[in-house]
Each structure stands twice: as C-alpha cells, then as structure tokens.
Amino acid sequence: MAEIHELSAVGLRDALSSGKLSAREAAEHFLARIQARNPGLGAFITVTAEQARADAARADALYARSRHSRSPGELPLLHGMPVAFKDLTDVAGVVTTHGSAALDQKPAPVDGALAAVLKRAGVVSLGKTQVPEFGLTAYSENLIAPPSRNPHALSRSSGGSSGGSAAAVAAGLVPFAPGSDGGGSIRIPAAACGLLGLKPGRGLVPAGESTGDPARLVVAGPLARSAEDAALMLDALVSAPESPESPESAQAAASAATDPGTSGHKALPGGGRYLAAVSRPPRQLRIGVSLDSPWQAIFPFTPDAEAMDALDTGIRLLEAAGHFTAEAAVRYDNRYPDAFTTAWTAGVGSARIAPQREALLTPLTRTFRRRAQQRSVSKLNEALGFLRQFERDTIAQYAHWDLVLMPALAQTPRPVGWFTGSSHGDGYWPASEWAGDADGDYRKQCEYAPWSSMVNVCGLPAISIPVHWTGGSPGAGLPMGIQLVGPMGSEALLLQVAAQIGY
C-alpha cells in the first residue's frame, strides 16, 4: 500500500472501513507529519493529539464491535478519517481563537454545527487550523501564531480564510478538510494551494461559523485533492441535515434531492449520491466565459497573464470534453462594493471585545469594526436590501448559461506579508508593527480575488479547479485555477465537470 498520506481520501476511507488500516494507525501517521512539517508551514494553530488518539481508539472499538456482531451496524461514512477544523469552528473542549489576540481564549463548551455533523459521520479531529482574524481576509495571517504558508512556495500565502486547512491538505497533513466560505474563503485558498474547493449553494449544508452574517453569505464545504474526495465529504455534510431554517433552505435541500446529476441512481458502497454522481459524465453544457467583476468600477484591475493562462487552459479542457463555451457579458450594479463591504463587516462591529483589548486587533479589523459601529441600522438594512436585488439580477443573467466560467484568482498566490505591507515576510508580530493601511489592504484583496464574493451574495454553488501551473506541469511553479459557477442545486454537476476534465 502507498504511504498513508499518499492515498486519496476515498482510498483512505476504504482502507479504514475494510480494516486494512486502523484509525489509530492513520491518526498517528498524520500527527507525525504535522509534527515534522507544521513548524515551517503554519497550517495548524492547535494540535489536539491526545484527543485524536482517544477518538481513534473509539473508532477502532466501533469497528471491532461491528465486525464481531451477529447483526453488525454500518460504520459511519467517514469512519476514522483524520480531519482538521479551521479555527473559526467550535470543537468541544478546544479553544476557538477566531485568529484574534483580542479575545479571551476559552475552550468551546460544545461542538459547532459543522464539527457536530462531521463527528457524527465518524471523523477524528487532529486540531485547529490557521485563519485570519475573524475570517475577514483572503490571507491567513494574524497576531497569535505564524502565518499559514503555501506548501508549493513557503514565501507565498496559502490564501484565506480557510488558508490553514488548504495548506494542511496540500501538504498531506490531512487527506481533506472542511472549510467555510463567506466571500471566497474556500475557493481562494484552494486556488492558491492547487486544490479543488467547492462552495455549496446556500442552505444545503450546515452554515460555517462567523462572527455575524446578516446577509447569509457563509456556507461550509470541502477542500480536497480531487472531485471524488470532495464528493465524499459533501455526502457526509448533507447526510444528516439540520431542519431547514427558511423556505430558501428547504428549496436548496429539495434541489439537492432532485438534482439530475444525483437522482434516480443508487449510491456507491461506502458513499452517497455525490460520490455516485462523480463517476458519471455530465451532459453537454453551454458555458459562458466572463471576466466581468462587480469590483472593477471602484478597483479597476487587469488579470495577470498567469490568470489568463489558467482561463485558456480551462476553456481548452472544457471544449475537449464536448462542452460549448462563449463570451458572456455580465453587468453588475456599481453600488455593489459598498453594500457588500457593509454586510461583510457588520459582524465584527458587534463582536464582544473588551475596550481595553481593542488595541490587540489587526489594523484592518480595527478599522472596519469602527466603521461598522458608526453605521446606522437603516444603512445596514439598505445594503441588505440592495444585495437581495443584486442576487436576483445576477442570477437572471447567469441563467442564460448552464455554467459561468472565470479565473479563480486574478493574480498568482501573493507573498506572505504582501497584503499588510509588511517587509518581514511574517505576519506574527505585535499589532503596533503591522502596517496600518486597512483600505489599501482591502483593495489588494478585492483585486486579488475579484470573482468570489458575488457568488456568496447570490447563494450559488461554485467550484475552484487547479487547471494550470506556472512552471508548465502539475506541481511545478505556482498553481492557478478556474472557477465555475452553477445554478442552485448544481453541486453534483460541478463535481462531475471537475472529474471529467481530470480533477
């Protein structure tokens, strides 16, 4: 058998469920890799080795009971699978730092929704991964721990806000990982680290954690090395859904149940409808290609040549698979940047932070917190109303196509410290030494990832696929990706397309 970390997530799951590998063997292997590689990578903030060993032992005991019982029950879908949770997600008994030095560091009393669902599916948590403060930025650097670095070039960022999780998967410290995405936080680090990242549609899976989300932007989804691995995690995330919180959530759940890519087919052994769907090719699709962005009016940008190379590669792969591509002109309302920023930063304004500890916030967080607190409720409500209209208008334009294609990022993965203007190349130093240009930092992020946040506003599924490497071959140079956006309920279709073109 290959080295444990070289197995796909599906392959590792099969080895664990068949008894070829014990949960303790898997946990010890990945814990050893974390110990060896994390000091230079910064992917993990907290490693919960003893708890992982205890959980793995319980998983092995469950396997033994199942094997020897006269009426054995089924093992959970992700029996014994090692994972890590980003440090915005509550895991019972473990401190949730939210990437902030301004918060009291107390263990979470109970699991959050995401951790609870995956623990019921059988995972063994190895710890908590690096995030930006409150998940606000497209890079995972903060004041409490070393920055998360890109395994393909340690001088580069792994992206954010699921940057630590993406770095851990790309470096083989875990086989796959859940992330949360409120403005690109799965897709950005997936693209930066050469992974596949899926943002499900609104309401399909338990919401990712955030400090407040009045626009309902945040959703949880998988970071993985292949469409098959991502499908396995998505099956676990939707296997025990919460009661729908709204008609929109119910609609999303119904859409998933009737998705033409998943309905009417039996699930594969050890999997579910998404894993079953990935093995079948999608129908021929009409794919619109767009470079339009709702940020370009306020922050004009020109995509790097490497971003256009990735887009060209994506078009070539899709057309070779039999799909039709053509330019799609999308018109976005110029009021979007202000409205999105108002909604995106509302939660940090209401975060419970003692006045004497506000100096421990990063300059960007401190600036946006102050502005959020000065903003009236009517201003926030106006922004939320606009975003709902923006959602309707944008979905109507996307509906002319089966999928909409664009680069995942407009630039190559950025150097560590680049967004904050640091010359240290290291985000881990006192707040007084961070550059204070919050608006310059924010502008850089919007120019780096100009095609991400509007997908969250629309609540649509989207996938980032690593189709190009700047060195010319997989693993050479820096990864660059494409993003495909689909209509509600198209998660299986997006995974099918990714698998069809080789990912």
Instruction: List the catalytic residue out of 22, 148, 161, 210.
Output: 161
For the question of residue 185 being annotated catalytic, the response is yes
* Dist. CA 458–CA 294, nearest whole Å: 12
* Dist. CA 453–CA 458, nearest whole Å: 9
Q: How many CA atoms lie within 13 A of 60 on its CB side?
A: 14
Amino acid at residue number 322: G
Q: Which residues contact 364 (CB under 8 A, 6 or more apart)?
A: 133, 136, 137, 420, 438, 441, 442
For the question of residue 161 being annotated catalytic, the response is yes
Instruction: List the catalytic residue out of 86, 119, 128, 199.
Output: 86
Q: Output the CA angle 37-42-43, nearest 5 degrees.
A: 85
Provide the token pair at 335.
Answer: 């009021």
Instruction: List the catalytic residue out of 148, 158, 165, 185.
Output: 185
* CA nearest neighbour of 489 among 184, 319, 223, 249: 249
- 439-457: string of b/e by CB count within 10 Å (b at 16+)? eebbbbbbbbbbbbbbbbb
* Dist. CA 329–CA 379, nearest whole Å: 30
End-to-end CA, the chain: 22
Contact 169, 195 (CB under 8 A): yes
Amino acid at residue number 477: G
Give me the active site residues, please.
86, 161, 185
